[in-house]
Amino acid sequence: MRISSTTTKKTRKKRIGNKMPSRTLRIPGHARGFSSRWLAVLAAALLLTAALGVAEERKTRSVQGAVTAQDDSLVSGAVVYLKNTKTLQIRSFFTQSDGSYSFRDLSPDIDYELKAEDHGAWSNVHTLSSFDTRKAVTINLKINPKK
């Protein structure tokens, strides 16, 4: 009785220039999916990235203060303008009953200009500099009398 064996025919790959054709490395047991070690490394990398994102998100600052009239009385309902000097975007805030205002989530890398307006009278422009490293800055604005 004759036992026939099947032989596989190996195909020979041709050289392209001076480079050999690429070959894939097959590791037994790892050909179908990720090992648990690689999944753990991937999970740790994702957690680290998320933690850095939260830390980056917290790198903001705020500015608050009060708006007063020439006689140092608090002005309720005045409009405070915050201008981003990089994009020229303007945000506004109406002062509370105690004359206070606040702007949050400001970038520490950008300069801002602040001014207040009440019934056609304006305050001087104040600058919140990017070189000011405080996280919470207080800038009080005084409305000048109409001219």
* Exposure letters 42-70 (e unless 16+ CB within 10 A, then b): eeeeeeeeeeeeeeeeeeebebbbbbbbe
Q: Report which DSSP code applies to 123.
A: B
Looking at the chain, the number of H-run helices and the number of E-run strands are 1, 9
Nearest C-alpha neighbor of 126 from the set 134, 136, 117, 116: 116
Let me know: does 79 contact 94? Beta carbons within 8 Å.
Answer: yes
List the domain boundaries for the chain: 61-142
In sequence order, which residues have a C-beta less than 8 Å from that of residue 109 and are 6 or more positions away?
Answer: 130
Task: Identify the pLDDT of residue 33.
Answer: 58
Specify the pTM: 0.61
Token code pair at residue 102: 């606040």
61-68 and 100-106 strand pairing: antiparallel
Q: Give Dmax over CA atoms of the chain in angstroms.
A: 119
Let me know: does 104 contact 62? Beta carbons within 8 Å.
Answer: yes
Q: Which fold has domain 61-142?
A: Immunoglobulin-like (2.60.40)
pLDDT in tens, the chain (147 residues): 555 555 555 666 666 666 655 665 555 555 455 567 776 777 777 777 776 665 555 589 999 999 999 999 999 999 999 999 999 999 999 999 999 999 999 999 999 999 999 999 999 999 999 999 999 999 999 999 887
